[in-house]
Structure 1
Amino acid sequence: MSEEETTRLFRIRRTVMQMLKDRGYLVGDFEINMTKAQFIDKFGESVKREDLVINKAKRNETSDQIYIFFPEEQKVGVKTLKTYTNRMKSENVFRAILVVQQNLTPFAKTCVSEVAAKFHLEIFQVLTNEEKKTLLERYTLKETQLPRIQITDPIARYYGLKRGQVVKIIRPSETAGRYVTYRYVV
């Protein structure tokens, strides 16, 4: 694993910890303020994504828990989702966030919809430079033609986005089931 990827995972984990704290989960300041050196001490030079799994309980309701999964594979499939939901079911945890590297497989997306009544799964993905390039080529766009999000926007600040990055947003939709849009950070 490259140092760049280690740095990226370090930053993602720190952002996730801050988000969990903001949502009312029990997160210690030491977990948010962990330095990159401490991160490497804990997880090693070449971080395994599955070692980053986080399980937190709500501050005032310890039975209300959440899992954060960092799937290892590029495109998450049904098998991985089933593994996660089985683990969640056995521990009575009904919320999870998946920090994915690429989009889910079509079957996995269907699976997320099917388990939505029981499990609340959120999918987070910030596009890599390569994915951004592919997106722009597919639609023959310049990045400036994408809808924008200000770097000062609370959500952009929350996720630690940088100018020039493109974020993929997936929202529930009454008519289409789900609505996908992209925002260019300015």
Structure 2
Amino acid sequence: MENPTGPDEAARLWKVNRTVHELVRDRGFQVSDEEIEMDLATFKQLYANSGGSVDRTQINFFTNHKNNPSDHIFIFFSEEKSVGVKTMRKLVTIMEEKSITRGIIIFPGNMTPSARKVIVAMSQQYQLEEFSESDLLVNITRHTLVPQHQKLTNEEKKTLLEKYRLKETQLPRIQLADPVARYYGLKRGNVVKIIRPSETSGRYASYRICF
């Protein structure tokens, strides 16, 4: 396992930074091609010191949704290896100052149970998600064995259920903790369209509901 604060830290964070920018863009938020296509040398030049360490506060960023400019998301890289309540308070303070209600925290090690309780306690005001850096070293949705997933809008979900005369409980399920569900930020009740290649028809679609 790579050491998150060792000599390969810059290369590790370069991969994580690229994946989280892809994740945000795949959710419909604005991200430039330059951010995703940035090579390791440029990343090191911008964010790493002479010893190869990266100041994580410099790679925090926020952006807005393409279809709703008032919908912002804040990406916060924790400097604390084991995230506790102190770091969560810091994140919430920044989001409060920027009037942002949606955030993702990325950490080098793990998250304490107390910190996770903050996410639950603040869920009425803030939509907070958490990923370890290890979760984002590779983009799982780019793997050849992972089919294309598309999150349906509420209207598309309604149309689907009416067209096939289905109840939500009749749809196959995808778990909330599924890595792909986490990547797209699915919530309970969300439906995804899964597109797979087909030898006969070129491709076919199936649907799953998050629970």
Task: Give the shorter-chain TM-score range.
Answer: 0.5 to 0.7
CA distance in 2, matches of 1:35, 1:127: 20
State the partner residue of 1:23: 27
Give the secondary structure class of the aligned counterpart of 1:124.
strand
1:57 aligns with 2:64: yes
* Match for residue 4 of structure 1 among 5, 8, 14: 8
Matched residue, 1:125: 132
CA offsets per residue over residues 112-170 of structure 1, 9 Å max, x none?
11001111111112559xxxxxxxxxxxxxxxxxxxxxx54438xxxxxxxxxxxx969
Gapped regions of structure 1 (runs ≥ 5) = 129-150, 156-167, 175-186
Give the % identical residues.
Answer: 32
**One-letter amino acid of the structure 1 residue matched with residue 87 of structure 2:** T
- Confirm or deny: 8 A CA contact 2:16 2:133 kept in the other structure: no
Answer yes or no: is 1:78 the counterpart of 2:82: no
Q: Equivalences for 1:150-161 in 2 at 5 Å?
A: 152-154=144-146
Q: Could you say which residue in structure 1 is the equivalent of 2:120? A: 113
Deviation of 1:32 after TM superposition, in Å, equals: 0.6
2: CA distance, partners of 1:127 / 1:23: 20
State the structure with more CA Rg: 2
Give the 3-state SS of the residue equivalent to 2:70 in structure 1. Answer: coil
Hey, what's the Cα distance between the residues in 1 that align with 2:23 and 2:131? 12
- TM value normalised by structure 2: 0.59
For the aligned residue pairs, the C-alpha RMSD in angstroms reads: 2.8
Match of residue 37 from structure 1: 41
Distance 1:124 1:38 in 2: 24
Q: Could you tell me how far apart the structure 2 residues matched to 1:4 and 1:69 are?
A: 20
Segments of structure 2 that go 5 or more residues without pairing to the other structure are 136-142, 148-177, 189-211
Say if 2:94 is the partner of 1:90: no
Determine the C-alpha separation between the residues in 1 that align with 2:61 and 2:133: 19
Compute the TM-score of the two structures, normalised by the length of structure 1: 0.67
C-alpha displacement of 1:52: 1.2
Runs of 4 or more off by more than 4 Å in structure 1?
A: 168-172
Q: Return the alpha-carbon distance in structure 2 between the equivalents of residues 126 and 33 of structure 1.
A: 19
Cα displacement (A) at 1:102:
2.3
Q: 1:29 & 1:113 partners in 2: Cα distance?
A: 34
Q: Distance in 2 between matches of 1:152 and 1:19?
A: 17
How many residue pairs match? The answer is 141
